[in-house]
Amino acid sequence: MDQASSVREEEPAVAEGPAGAAPAVARTREELAAARSRATGTLALVPTMGALHEGHLTLIRRARESADTVVVSIFVNPLQFGPHEDFDRYPRTFADDLAACAAAGADLVFAPAREVMYPAEPQVTIRSGPMGEVVEGAARPGHFDGMLTVVMKLLQLVRPDVAFFGEKDAQQLAMIRRMVADLDVPVRVEGVPTVREPDGLALSSRNRYLSAAERRTALALSEALRAGADAAEAGAEAVLRAARAVLDRVADADPPLELDYLVLVDPATFTEFGPARTGPGVLAVAGRVGATHLIDNMPLRVGSPKES
């Protein structure tokens, strides 16, 4: 992200106050450090790339319930975008995001430019290892290296007691938990369940790219997950068979769904289930509708009746 494409729509007034008032805005490391030094009690971080929707706001409200100070970061991280991905067109809506942060109760928004987060081209980064090379990592090589690198930098800069992440990005959440454990980062990582629109589509900043016809096709992702969950009692093969049947019906739709993957995996390691395995799992799916890449997942318990 060059400086011209960094998140800068207008410079909001920097103010502090209760929920509903504009949160303070820090754009530099020095401003963040000064604000951090004034914080008392527990501090929560909600990392985002902006273009906030109800899923993000749910994270902020959960953070508000659990901590004395809530920091929201807004940074479109170039390291986690591949060469042919949507970095340049990723939505940047800072003024609206700031208002949303105020309504949800954030105290501070950290909105750095690229040169603040990466003063020089990084030479030492976080490697995601084998866990970052499967499922979404196989479809987007290097994505999780970039994601973990920026999350580690944010954790070091903000130094929160707890950080909140959405369960919609289940592999991301699992990898952050593993990074924190493996590298002894002193933070508690909290996952928050996926927020969905009334028709079942998982909330995503990329949903705004979808035309009405593309959105109808995209609904097959959540429908496939529900079908798989309904078949969980019958075992892993039944889960995948039921989900794939839904996706097959939209493979030739207009517009079609181009499936990237449909997998049933261990929730902690993202290794795939064998046919005889039972217990907790995550059914994960990703596909492309038009030019938009969408992901979704659903936790389930294979070999057990579906929870009501």
Active site residues: 56
Residue 51 assigned as binding residue: yes
Name, in order, each residue with C-beta under 8 angstroms of 186's C-beta and a sequence gap of 6 or more: none
- Among 214, 225, 202, which Cα is nearest to 288's? 214
Residue 53 assigned as binding residue: yes
Helix (H) or strand (E) run with residue 239 in it: helix 236-249
What number of other Cβ atoms are within 10 A of residue 197's Cβ? Answer: 16
Residue 167 assigned as binding residue: yes
Residue 232 assigned as binding residue: no
Residue 172 assigned as binding residue: yes
User: Dihedrals φ, ψ of 31, to 5°?
Assistant: -65, -40
Q: Which two tokens stand for residue 198?
A: 């009334």
Residue 55 assigned as binding residue: yes
Q: Which two tokens stand for residue 146?
A: 């970039």
241 touches 302 (CB < 8 A): no
Residue 3 assigned as binding residue: no
251 touches 259 (CB < 8 A): yes
Q: Which two tokens stand for residue 87?
A: 């970095």
Residue 204 assigned as binding residue: yes
Helix (H) or strand (E) run with residue 292 in it: strand 292-302
Residue 195 assigned as binding residue: yes
Separation between Cα atoms, residue 182 and residue 30, nearest integer Å: 29
- Among 15, 94, 101, which Cα is nearest to 58's? 101
Q: Where are the alpha helices (DSSP H) in 134-211?
A: 136-139, 143-158, 170-182
Residue 49 assigned as binding residue: yes
Residue 197 assigned as binding residue: no
Distances (CA, A) of 103 to 19, 21, 27, 68, 192: 6, 8, 20, 16, 19
Residue 52 assigned as binding residue: yes
Burial of residue 41 (number of CB atoms within 10 Å: 0-12, 13-18, 19+): exposed
Residue 146 assigned as binding residue: no
45 touches 163 (CB < 8 A): yes
Residue type, 7: V
Write out the binding residues for beta-alanine: 80
Write out the binding residues for ATP: 49-56, 166-169, 195, 203-206
Write out the binding residues for (R)-pantoate: 80, 172
Write out the binding residues: 49-56, 80, 166-169, 172, 195, 203-206
